[in-house]
Amino acid sequence: MAEKRPFDILNNALNQNVLVKLKGDVEVRGILGSFDVHMNLVIENGEELKNGELKRKLGTVLLRGDTVVYVSPATP
């Protein structure tokens, strides 16, 4: 089995729904539009979640890489 690098996994997640956990116990769900080497993420159709429930719609949002705790596949 080929070794997978973190950027390979992010590349495979492009244009897919993801759940991003941020510092400060904030979660953002949306479509991963793009990312860079600092793990800055562009999320399209973003939604802020609190305790798994929709808090507010954000639209297109840029998440700064140093605030990202994890990126996970998400259900729409």
pLDDT in tens, 17-63: 999 999 998 999 999 999 999 999 999 999 999 888 999 999 999 99
What is the per-residue pLDDT for 5? Answer: 87
pLDDT classification of 4: cutoffs 50, 70, 90: confident
Q: Which of 9-13, 67-71, 72-76 has the lowest mean pLDDT?
A: 72-76
What is the per-residue pLDDT for 32? Answer: 98
Instruction: Tell me how far apart the alpha carbons of residues 29 and 57 are, in angstroms, rounded to a whole number.
Output: 10
* Pick from 38, 39, 41, 50: nearest CA to 16: 41
